[in-house]
Amino acid sequence: METPTKLPPSSPSSPTTGFSVPSAEKVDGFPRRSMRRARQRRSHSSSQFRYQSSQVELTPLPLLKDAPVAELHDLFCKKLQQCCVLFDFLDCVADLKGKEIKRAALNELVESVATSRGVLIEPLYPEAIKMISVNIFRTLPPSENPDFDPEEDEPTLEASWPHLQLVYEFFLRFLESPDFQPSMAKRYVDQKFVLQLLELFDSEDPREREYLKTILHRVYGKLLGLRAYIRKQINNIFLRFIYETEHFNGVAELLEILGSIINGFALPLKSEHKQFLVRVLIPLHTAKSLSIFHAQLAYCVVQFMEKDATVTEYIIRGLLKYWPKTCTQKEVMFLGEIEEILDVIEPSQFIRVQEPLFKQIAACISSPHFQVAERALYFWNNEYILSLIEENCQVILPLVFGTLYRVSKEHWNQTIVSLIYNVLKTFMEMNSKLFDDLTASYKVEKQKELKRERERAELWRSLEEQQERRLQSLGEASRNQKNLQEREKNSKNEPENSAANAT
């Protein structure tokens, strides 16, 4: 009964006069993203400042490039210590002088470590790592937007980025310096350090995650003793993401690192690595936010297959297990990944998975969502896949024929119907005898299916009847038992009440 008729604006008693309703809200009153975002909000956030003890006044030190060689290391060290002072960036006018001094010092440190040789001597390692730790390690602030959607919303940027970026830059140059000595660094870049580094990947600020990605990659490459630990902690982060929080901003970045790590795995694959594939990478496909890191994830999966073809079956069966039930967008992603996999699959492996796989593909073809059906039907445009299908036509055609036949007559979308005709034509050309047989037996098969359906219904009906009878007889039995007890009791006490109890 509610119609979109507008009220006459002249209506004198209308409370709507005198103020204008934002047009977005005239449609309906539900809060929507755009409205929420319009709410006043900071775009910057930082948890860093709280732990600063009494503010120290910074005084500019002499420039590194002017320092005599004998004092260079001492000055470098002093600059590192100076850079341990933290500033409040949420208050953008606070202590501008100090901020500028620190920024200049950081710039100098970056420059010096990147260009001059012989700066990085052993006593500087603990000071450098301390400066890095003090600046980057912090509890990330709560998200401004509790249901932050990385695809839709603007990320909250780190307020102290002007300094933080230089610290990250320094760290990166430090790791990449030809003078860098892993044997010295490993005393300071230890497990605890790496754990904190990994937690920072949850940062909402993409610039920070980008730095972290490169840095972790370098650490993984240079500090061999930490490799197993890093992999284990990434595992833990992913498992927490999959099974506990469903929230972690740095999944894509971590997967990107893993993509290159997998490349370097030795053969035969260790069981640790296989376990990682089966129990972590495959379940990652269940995440709600799959679209954000699917490209990187699919890359990792394909890397595994190229490394060792025997994992193919685990992968395909795993994907089939987690196949999206309701989210068509994810279904299209899964189909994309399957195609990437089929592109590099070994024919012997294909035979092992073709049956469950093509049952799923048939199900996708009959999806009422045309993008899903279309994506599945595109497999027949892939020459390698087509050759695999042709070799195994005897198995595959019977699996998909019924669906193709039915959907060709039923689908609402003309593109799908014509794609299916093409596929049917291809099959006809591949094996016309089998095709004709299947066409002939289609109706009979349908009848058989219906019959099985009826039999099943009948089975359950009689099972339920039987249950009913049993429950009844059990009920009767307990009633009888009660009556009997009542009767015995009543016969001793008040016999005239027995009728009332016998209900």
Partner 1 sequence: ARLRAEVLNCPSMAGADGDDSLYPIAVLIDELRNEDVQLRLNSIKKLSTIALALGVERTRTELLPFLTDTIYDEDEVLLALAEQLGNFTMLVGGPEYVHCLLPPLESLATVEETVVRDKAVESLRKISHEHSPVDLEVHFEPLVKRLASGDWFTSRTSACGLFSVCYPRVSSTVKAEIRQHFRNLCSDDTPMVRRAAASKLGEFAKVLELEYVKSDIISLFTALASDEQDSVRLLAVEACVSIATLLPQEDLETLVMPTLRQAAEDKSWRVRYMVADKFSELQKAVGPEITKNDLVPAFQNLLKDCEAEVRAAAANKVKEFCENLPEDSRETIIMTHILPCVKELVSDTNQHVKSALASVIMGLSTILGKDNTIEHLLPLFLAQLKDECPEVRLNIISNLDCVNEVIGIRQLSQSLLPAIVELAEDAKWRVRLAIIEYMPLLAGQLGVEFFDEKLNSLCMAWLVDHVYAIREAATCNLTKLVEKFGAEWAQNTIVPKVLGMANDPNYLHRMTTLFCINALSEACGQEITTKHMLPVVLKMSNDQVANVRFNVAKSLQKIGPVLDSNCLQTEVKPVLEKLAADQDIDVKYFAQEAISVLALA
Is residue 29 a contact residue for partner 1 (CB under 8 A)?
A: yes
Is residue 141 a contact residue for partner 1 (CB under 8 A)?
A: yes
User: Residue 300 to residues 199, 220, 235, 254, 339: CA-CA distances in angstroms?
Assistant: 21, 17, 14, 11, 15
Is residue 195 a contact residue for partner 1 (CB under 8 A)?
A: yes
Displacement of CA 478 from its chain's centroid (Å): 55
Q: Which is nearer to partner 1, 121 or 363 (CB)?
A: 363
Tell me which amino acid residue 252 is.
A
User: Residue 26 to residues 12, 19, 23, 40, 425: CA-CA distances in angstroms?
Assistant: 20, 13, 5, 21, 52
Interface with partner 1 in residues 471-500 (CB under 8 A): 473-474, 476-477, 480-481, 483-484, 487
Displacement of CA 168 from its chain's centroid (Å): 26
Is residue 1 a contact residue for partner 1 (CB under 8 A)?
A: yes
DSSP string of 27-53, one letter each residue: H-----HHHHHHS---SEE---GGG--
The stretch among 152-160, 177-185, 213-221, 463-471 that binds partner 1 (CB under 8 A) is: 463-471
Q: Which of 381, 415, 432, 466 binds partner 1 (CB under 8 A)?
A: 466
Q: Which of 34, 55, 107, 139 binds partner 1 (CB under 8 A)?
A: 139
Classify residue 158 by its DSSP letter: E
Is residue 13 a contact residue for partner 1 (CB under 8 A)?
A: yes
Q: Which of 115, 470, 491, 495 binds partner 1 (CB under 8 A)?
A: 470
- Residues with Cβ within 8 Å of residue 341, at least 6 apart in sequence: 301, 302, 305, 312, 315, 316
Q: Which of 228, 327, 395, 463 binds partner 1 (CB under 8 A)?
A: 463
Q: Which of 57, 151, 244, 496 binds partner 1 (CB under 8 A)?
A: 244
Q: Which of these, 329, 357, 320, 360, lies nearest to 342 by C-alpha position? A: 357
- Residues with Cβ within 8 Å of residue 54, at least 6 apart in sequence: none
Interface with partner 1 in residues 40-79 (CB under 8 A): 47, 49-51
Q: Which is nearer to partner 1, 33 or 65 (CB)?
A: 33
User: Residue 349 to residues 284, 311, 324, 344: CA-CA distances in angstroms?
Assistant: 23, 9, 24, 10
Measured CA to CA, the distance from residue 357 to residue 352 in angstroms comes to 10
Interface with partner 1 in residues 337-366 (CB under 8 A): 359
The site that binds partner 1 (CB under 8 A) totals a number of residues, namely 55
Tell me which amino acid residue 273 is.
H
Is residue 383 a contact residue for partner 1 (CB under 8 A)?
A: no
Residues in the chain: 503
Measured CA to CA, the distance from residue 430 to residue 209 in angstroms comes to 51
Is residue 15 a contact residue for partner 1 (CB under 8 A)?
A: yes
In the complex, minimum distance from the CB of residue 251 to partner 1, in angstroms, rounded to a whole number: 17
Q: Which is nearer to partner 1, 271 or 414 (CB)?
A: 271
Q: Which is nearer to partner 1, 202 or 339 (CB)?
A: 202
H or E element: which one contains 371?
helix 370-377
Contact present, 412 and 420 (Cβ < 8 Å):
no
Torsion over CA of 101, 105, 111 and 116, rounded to 10 degrees?
A: 140
Measured CA to CA, the distance from residue 116 to residue 67 in angstroms comes to 13
Is residue 8 a contact residue for partner 1 (CB under 8 A)?
A: yes
Q: Which is nearer to partner 1, 421 or 460 (CB)?
A: 460
Q: Which is nearer to partner 1, 50 or 288 (CB)?
A: 50
- In the shown chain, the binding pattern of residues 318 to 337 toward partner 1, with x for contact by CB under 8 A and - for none, equals ---x----------------
Q: Which is nearer to partner 1, 199 or 340 (CB)?
A: 199
Sites of contact with partner 1 (CB under 8 A): 1-3, 5-8, 11, 13-16, 18-19, 21-22, 25, 29, 31, 47, 49-51, 139, 141-142, 192, 195, 236, 239-240, 243-244, 279, 283, 321, 359, 456, 459-460, 462-464, 466-467, 470, 473-474, 476-477, 480-481, 483-484, 487
